[in-house]
Structure 1
Amino acid sequence: MKIAIVHDWLVTYAGAERVLASLINIWPEADLFSVIDFLSDQDRAQLGGKVATTTFIQRLPKARTHYQRYLPLMPMAIEQLDLSGYDLIISSSHAVAKGVLCGPDQLHVSYVHSPIRYAWDLQHQYLREANLSTGMKGKVARMILHYMRMWDQRTAAGVDDFIANSHFIGARITKAYRRESTVIYPPVDTRGFTLQEHKQDYYFTASRMVPYKRMPMIVEAFAAMPDKRLVMVGDGPEMEKARAAAAHAPNIQLLGYQPFSVLQEHMRNARAFVFAAEEDFGISPVEAQACGTPVIAFGKGGVLETVCGLDHAQPTGVLYPEQSVASLIEAVQIFETYSPRITAQACRANAERFSQARFEQEMRQFVDLRLSAAREKRQPPVARPAPAAQVTQTVAPNELCARVVPIKSV
């Protein structure tokens, strides 16, 4: 059996690429396809050294650093990948990977991190954050996203089975594609984040500094709580806003980008991990719990499935209702009041529900079942002799003995 794995684009090793790495662990013989592939040697090692077959966008100017500008071309590009020789196609998609062309004798299973966020329910938020709400550029952006939305919905018909990375994304799939999905939570490296029961007196957060992560908001909240120490790891476009908010707050330490070992050590020793994004799943809160570290998170999106609130028998954190400074401050105060109820062991046990081994086992079982069902469906029907013709007549009860069908001699 020939297997193809399709990914959107390969430029860095983040959450979606961790899923891809596990898919390659399950099917190491698979061929890899992607719109572009500019992975470093270090990141490629996580994928078993595989190099993707790419599209024409790989050769366009500045495709390595400004690939987002080629988004309008990506639907056409992904459709140019020739997968006609493969029996099984597995796409790992948050943009265009699920749109590959396939035939009726091929099984296409799509693991969806999200339908294209900026083309569906988050369109207005993305346009605001990119300063494209008004003007001619804004009109052009809306036209492109309208086209992407229609293409995304149409290509859903080419997928045999959808797998969602959370029930939250499963609801998005139903809304966007009118299709059902099976939830298989993504893999989290729970072995790389070990349990630490004794905590130090500081709060910790780590993320890329992009608008939807709300990192400056976290800084503002702790600037208003000078008696509580915050350590923040991460870098990106919002770093200057975070620095400005922390300018007169000696209790806040901005470390910028740090290697994994530093991030891990801070996460293991923190009193709690602070999270302010609305994520499709959210790997960082699970990694924190794997360290035995409770989570204080904005209560929307994937964290509702990965963090057990105070109403749970074995709580692992506090969920706050609004993405605001006031709501986060209140959540920290609630956490300090009820933190004795949250144990490091409960956090670790909850994180184990999302381990890499569990993901790979569930994915393999799901695909094997679908392959078996597809094979049975393709089997030709067994030829059976036609039954002798029978004539059934409806007769009134009092006529049964009176009517006789004459037998003609041969």
Structure 2
Amino acid sequence: MKIALVQDGLMCRAGGEQVALCFHKAFPEAPIYTQCYRPELTFPEFQSCDIRTTWLQSIAKTDDTMKKLFFPLGVWAMQSHDLSEFDLVLMSGTHCAKYVKVRPDALVISYSFTPFRLAWNPESYAQYSKSEGFTRKLFDIVVGKLKAVDFKAAQRPNFFVAMTEETKERLQTAYQIKQDIQIINPPVNTQNFHISDLPKSYYLVVSRLEYYKKVDLVIDAFNQLGYPLVVVGKGLQEDEIKSGANSNVRFMSGLSAKELAEVYANCRAFIFPQHEDYGITPLEANAAGRPVIAYGTGGVLATQIPVTDDPSQATALFFNEQTADKLKEAVKQFETIEHRFDPVFIRSHAESFDESKFIDKIRLFVTSKYAQHRKIEASTIK
């Protein structure tokens, strides 16, 4: 079995890149095909991998630039990857990975985080949701073309793997997938995190600073609360968010894995305000023994245990409306039960999502599907 791995891009340290790294650990001899790769922007473990980029590598120096050039340059770039020599192609991502060239008889498995957001949920982008008139019409034309191109490319994989039940349903609806979709929850590397004996007084956000992440909502709430808040991340909305923050908010970026682990371990609680397809960061906070205050929808429903009667058997406190006022109420409620959360229980829960379990599940799924594929091929030839 000659296998290739495909990832949209390796230009930041986020959940998609963690999945790609686990794919490498499952199949260490397989090369990784991607749009662009900048070793200084993503996880250092990729430096030992066989990574093959496109011609877009010489143009896109940052993750933001790579995303802006996706249509049409990113599509064309990924189409230049010819993987005809490979028997099996395991891809992960939302938009670019599916455009590589493969053999008609190759087995293609797509670990798809969600249907491409810009094509199927453009309202989640500030540039689209705030556009009007001619600009909105132009956006709609581009989005329509993206949807058609994305749908066509999504028909090639033999099998899809989804993160959660919600993303499974989205994939089935958008791409009209008839076969069953396996659910394998994304991993967290619990070994990178530890419990602190004396957490400090600040609350924490770790996120890309983009419109749909709703970090501005957290800033608004904590400006009113006056509590110390640490925000770790960079992104398209960075300048806007920073300009709206009071002096109780501290911004950080470019942290090493060790530094980030310390920030997690010493926070009072982790704030997660967005409707996320999955969300690795709440599990990272859990791996450090810290509870999560989250908007109770999307991926956290699959990864967190919300408070009911006993906080010692919970990992998170949910708020049910995506507003600064509801987040403030949740923070105030958290203060009354904070001492009842159990860091050891929270850490133990995170370990059930550890990357070692994810790697075993992916390896088993891929090898079993390939064995079935070869058996079908052999019977067809006969």
Larger deviation, residues 275-284 vs 307-316: 307-316
Partner of 2:379, secondary structure, is coil
Q: Does 1:153 align with 2:146?
A: no
Listed one character per residue, the Cα deviations across residues 323-347 of structure 1 (whole Å, up to 9, x for unaligned) are 1111101111222233344211221
Partner residue in 2 for 1:262: 259
State how 1:217-296 maps to structure 2 within 5 Å: 217-226=217-226, 228-247=227-246, 252-257=248-253, 259-260=255-256, 261-296=258-293
Listed one character per residue, the Cα deviations across residues 188-246 of structure 1 (whole Å, up to 9, x for unaligned) are 111111123543333222222222222222122122223x4333333444344444443
Larger deviation, residues 287-296 vs 129-138: 129-138
Partner residue in 2 for 1:212: 212
Amino acid at match of 1:380: S
Listed one character per residue, the Cα deviations across residues 136-187 of structure 1 (whole Å, up to 9, x for unaligned) are 3432222122111112112222111101122221121111112232111122
- How far the C-alpha of 1:349 sits from its partner, in A, is 1.5
**8 Å Cα contact 1:88/1:108 also seen in 2:** yes
- How far the C-alpha of 1:291 sits from its partner, in A, is 0.8
Partner residue in 2 for 1:186: 186
Partner of 2:48, secondary structure, is coil
**8 Å Cα contact 2:12/2:41 also seen in 1:** no
Partner residue in 2 for 1:40: 39
Q: 1:279 to 1:88 in 2, by over 3 A?
A: same
Partner residue in 2 for 1:52: 51
Separation in structure 2 between the aligned mates of residue 71 and residue 22 of structure 1, nearest angstrom? 25
Listed one character per residue, the Cα deviations across residues 233-286 of structure 1 (whole Å, up to 9, x for unaligned) are 334443444444433xx5x23133252333322221222111112211111110
Separation in structure 2 between the aligned mates of residue 258 and residue 135 of structure 1, nearest angstrom? 39
Separation in structure 2 between the aligned mates of residue 150 and residue 91 of structure 1, nearest angstrom? 20
Partner residue in 1 for 2:341: 342
Partner residue in 2 for 1:358: 357
Partner of 2:11, secondary structure, is coil
**8 Å Cα contact 2:291/2:315 also seen in 1:** yes
Separation in structure 2 between the aligned mates of residue 42 and residue 210 of structure 1, nearest angstrom? 17
Partner residue in 2 for 1:299: 296
Partner residue in 1 for 2:174: 176
Separation in structure 2 between the aligned mates of residue 139 and residue 381 of structure 1, nearest angstrom? 49
State how 1:13-24 maps to structure 2 within 5 Å: 13-24=13-24
Separation in structure 2 between the aligned mates of residue 302 and residue 266 of structure 1, nearest angstrom? 23
Amino acid at match of 1:68: K
Separation in structure 2 between the aligned mates of residue 199 and residue 45 of structure 1, nearest angstrom? 28
Give ranges in structure 2 of 5+ residues lacking alignment.
none
Greater C-alpha Rg: 1
Partner residue in 2 for 1:389: none
Amino acid at match of 1:253: V
Separation in structure 2 between the aligned mates of residue 34 and residue 243 of structure 1, nearest angstrom? 32
**8 Å Cα contact 1:24/1:48 also seen in 2:** no
**8 Å Cα contact 1:290/1:352 also seen in 2:** yes
Larger deviation, residues 104-113 vs 257-266: 257-266
TM, length-normalised to structure 2? 0.89
Separation in structure 2 between the aligned mates of residue 194 and residue 139 of structure 1, nearest angstrom? 50
Would you tell me which structure has more helix in proportion to its own residues? 2
Separation in structure 2 between the aligned mates of residue 185 and residue 72 of structure 1, nearest angstrom? 29
Q: Does 1:330 align with 2:329?
A: yes
- How far the C-alpha of 1:45 sits from its partner, in A, is 4.0
Separation in structure 2 between the aligned mates of residue 382 and residue 213 of structure 1, nearest angstrom? 51
Aligned length: 374
**C-alpha RMSD over aligned residues:** 2.5
Listed one character per residue, the Cα deviations across residues 293-312 of structure 1 (whole Å, up to 9, x for unaligned) are 00001112111111111138
Listed one character per residue, the Cα deviations across residues 327-373 of structure 1 (whole Å, up to 9, x for unaligned) are 10111122223334421122112111211101111000101110111
Partner of 1:157, secondary structure, is coil
Partner residue in 1 for 2:98: 98
Separation in structure 2 between the aligned mates of residue 130 and residue 382 of structure 1, nearest angstrom? 50
Highest RCO, 1 vs 2 (Cα 8 Å, sep ≥ 6): 2
Q: 1:124 to 1:39 in 2, by over 3 A?
A: same
Larger deviation, residues 341-350 vs 97-106: 97-106
TM, length-normalised to structure 1? 0.83
| Partner residue of 1:311 out of 305, 308, 311 | 308
**8 Å Cα contact 2:99/2:153 also seen in 1:** yes
Partner of 1:280, secondary structure, is coil
Partner of 1:89, secondary structure, is strand
Amino acid at match of 2:252: G
Amino acid at match of 1:320: F
Partner of 1:337, secondary structure, is helix
Separation in structure 2 between the aligned mates of residue 106 and residue 342 of structure 1, nearest angstrom? 49
Give ranges in structure 1 of 5+ residues lacking alignment.
384-410
Separation in structure 1 between the aligned mates of residue 264 and residue 176 of structure 2, nearest angstrom? 40
Amino acid at match of 2:111: Y
Q: 1:160 to 1:349 in 2, by over 3 A?
A: same
